Amino acid sequence: MSTEHLANMRRNYTRDGLLEEAAPQEPRTLFEYWFNDAVATEQPPVEPNSMILATVDHSGQPHCRVVLLKGLDAQGFVFYTNYTSAKGRQLAEQPKAALTFFWPALERQIRIEGTVEKISAAESDAYYNMRPLGSRLGAWASDQSQPLASREVLEQTLAELEERYATQAPPRPEHWGGYRMVPQRMEFWQGRTCRLHDRLNYQLQADGAWSRERLAP
């Protein structure tokens, strides 16, 4: 693909804008409103709860991957993974991260920055036990982010686990569980025509209140 072809690839955003009078003073309410819109509007293969998780390793190298939002509470945004995976190790070294949601049909993006903490074992157990059996066994079978000799090795490990837990439910592995992103900054982006997009930025203050300001597109 040529540079000229890439340079000419663009989409003109045409949906309604995001104005201060239509936005709450704190970001949680706006997130829930936009998320519910995405659930009602986005179509497969888009998953409304998919989000890009960015972490940083000990050398300062950023790493990004797509994960799924699996919980939302008053404290923050919850996702699950292998604690010994690359992202788990990075979060242990630097418990700060960023999330990005993008919903193309709505022409909306939300960026979230904050600190990350492990959720309780009880919370992780509750979610793990809700998962399909194959996903629960997969948490045992995969030594996530480590070198793997072949696909066959992984499938053989899974087969052995299926046999081991044929008559009993597998417990949650200690190396697998949830994290909660506690937001300190949330930016809401609404696409507008001529690239003059709307951006509302919310910043958590020392007293626990949120400030709100408009950013230039």
CB 170 within 8 A of CB 161: yes
Tokens of 195: 């690239």
Of the listed 65, 164, 195, 214, which one is catalytic?
195
DSSP 83-141: TTSHHHHHHHH--EEEEEEEETTTTEEEEEEEEEEEPPHHHHHHHHTTS-HHHHHHHHH
62 has which bridge partners? Answer: 56
Nearest residue to 69 via CA among 183, 174, 171: 183
Phi, psi torsion values for 104, nearest 5 degrees: -65, -35
How far from chain centre, in Å, is Cα 134? 22
Q: Are 178 and 80 in contact (CB under 8 A)?
A: yes
Instruction: For tokens 């507008």, name the residue.
Output: 192
Q: Respond yes or no: is residue 195 known to be catalytic.
A: yes
The burial of 215, by beta-carbon neighbours within 10 Å (0-12 exposed, 13-18 middle, 19 or more buried), is given as exposed
Q: Which residues are catalytic?
A: 195
